[in-house]
């Protein structure tokens, strides 16, 4: 089933029954999470197939809230530029085969200056991230805009403060395996090599900083070597 981070805590996205219209339905065993546009642009691509990762979790289906600042209509697709105050993102909406009067009415409502909620997944096009939406809905209650911002904060804190993320646990385990018995611990380059391509140097550096702040690692002979605090 689709997992809704923060479900049961109130809000406007209560069920997947809202997903209608063009594009596709979310797949089973995937997650739906609220994001700001900046979070998606900052998300790391951890694998060769451009699978995004935020807070140590893979990003599958996302929901954004933003104001439409530009519209480009084509025969089979409409492209909207959404601005949520943290950035802008192109949002592509494929026109369904059953393009009935209600569907056309909805698209007529999605005009420059209005706020909408979009559900979809993030693709890369010409090295730029783009949202491919399977549902867009006009926002009529602007409390929903505020709620969405609070929801992104709640979900981030829920995932990062409820213990170490899978990535941090993995990186900490690598430092234990490589440098747990070594006086100088392990170097960042050694951990990157041992990870087998799962993480970039920047991702390891970010993880090291987080683990230091959490009291899990300490630096040894320089700022490239670290050792677990509970190593024997």
Residue 210 and residue 139 share a domain? no
pLDDT band at 218 (very low <50, low <70, confident <90, very high): confident
Mean local confidence (pLDDT), 61-84: 96
* pTM (2 d.p.): 0.62
Lowest mean pLDDT among 11-20, 128-137, 141-150, 197-206: 11-20
Q: Where among 112, 131, 160 does a domain terminate?
A: 160
Burial class of residue 29 in the structure, from the number of CB atoms within 10 Å of its CB (0-12 exposed, 13-18 middle, 19+ buried): exposed
For the record, the structure tokens of 192 come out as 């990157």
CB neighbour list of residue 168: distance below 8 Å, 6 or more residues apart: 56, 207, 210, 211, 214, 216
Residue 86 and residue 35 share a domain? yes
| Higher per-residue confidence, 196 vs 232 | 196
Instruction: Identify the pLDDT of residue 181.
Output: 78
| Residue 142 clears pLDDT 60, i.e. is over it | yes
Tens digits of residue pLDDT in 153-207: 888 877 776 667 788 888 988 998 888 778 888 999 999 998 888 888 898 999 9
Give the three-state DSSP class for 31. Answer: strand
Q: Where among 128, 144, 160 does a domain terminate?
A: 160
CATH number at residue 57: 2.40.50.140
């Amino acid at each position: 089933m689709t997992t809704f981070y923060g479900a049961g805590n109130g809000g406007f996205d209560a069920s997947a029954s809202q997903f209608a219209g063009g594009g596709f339905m979310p797949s089973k065993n995937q997650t739906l999470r609220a994001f700001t546009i900046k979070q998606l642009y900052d998300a790391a691509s951890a694998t060769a197939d451009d699978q995004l990762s935020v807070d140590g979790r893979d990003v599958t289906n996302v929901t954004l809230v933003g104001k439409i600042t530009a519209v480009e209509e084509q025969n089979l697709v409409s492209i909207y530029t959404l601005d949520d105050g943290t950035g802008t993102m192109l949002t592509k909406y494929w026109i369904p085969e059953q393009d009935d009067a209600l569907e056309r009415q909805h698209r007529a409502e999605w005009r420059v200056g209005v706020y909408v909620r979009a559900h979809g997944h993030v693709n890369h096009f010409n090295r730029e991230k783009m949202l491919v939406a399977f549902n867009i809905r006009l926002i009529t209650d602007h409390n929903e805009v505020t709620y969405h911002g609070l929801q992104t904060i709640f979900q981030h804190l829920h995932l990062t403060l409820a213990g170490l993320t899978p990535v941090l646990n993995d990186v900490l385990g690598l430092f234990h395996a490589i440098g747990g018995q070594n006086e100088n611990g392990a170097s960042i380059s050694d951990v990157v090599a041992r990870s087998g391509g799962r993480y970039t140097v920047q991702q390891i550096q970010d993880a090291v900083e987080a683990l230091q702040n959490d009291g899990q690692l300490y630096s040894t002979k320089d700022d490239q070597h670290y050792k677990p605090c509970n190593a024997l």
